[in-house]
Amino acid sequence: MNHSIVIMGVAGCGKSSLGEAVARAEGLHLVEGDDHHSPESRAKMSQGIALTDADRQGWLNRLGEELRQAPQGLVLTCSALKRAYREGLRAASPGLRFVFLDVTREEAQRRVAQRPSHFFSSSLIDSQFATLEPPTGEPGVLRVDANLPLEQLQAQVCAWLHEGANA
């Protein structure tokens, strides 16, 4: 069984926090997707310029390679906003599972505004929601409420991962 999991959703939903908690609980390596953006993409986002599919392609390829190189499994944080992006990651890691952190636009905006040192401009929240294709009906996806306490989210995700391992 593939033990890799992607913690996904729009900016500000809590991917990094949940990814770190799940990786620690499961004893898996954490790959922070934001660390793999090109300098050009980081510069665009810090200026409030939304990335295009072309901008994201190299990033998604790098993340796919991270997944391929981790047959023992890992936790990856990645917005994975479109189904096509998720399908590309699934191709790199058959059996890949996703946790979709569902958050409102207002809450995402509030959270991003509270982290001024991050390269992501809060002005991009609307473009994230415009791009988002929720993974409803896709296989291997758990939707969670991003407003729940981190400990509860981590427990919910870990229980789901182990439930799938025993199915």
Nearest to 102 by CA among 126, 137, 56, 135: 135
Number of domains in the chain: 1
Q: What is the pLDDT of residues 22-44, one digit of tens each?
A: 999 999 999 998 888 778 877 88
Which CATH number is 123's domain given?
3.40.50.300
Res. 163: pLDDT tops 60: yes
Better pLDDT: 116 or 35: 35
Which residues form the domain of 105? 5-165
Q: What is the pLDDT averaged over residues 69-92?
A: 94
Q: Give the H or E element holding residue 105.
A: helix 105-113
- pLDDT, residue 115, reads 67
Is residue 88 very low, low, confident or very high in pLDDT (cuts 50, 70, 90)? very high
Stretch 143-166: mean pLDDT: 91
What does the pLDDT look like over 96-113, one tens digit per residue?
999 999 999 999 988 887
* pLDDT tens for each residue of 41-67: 778 877 777 778 888 898 899 999 999
pLDDT band at 166 (very low <50, low <70, confident <90, very high): very low
pTM summary value: 0.88
Rounded distance between C-alpha atoms, residue 32 and residue 71, angstroms:
17
The rounded distance, in Å, linking the Cα atoms of 161 and 5 is 9
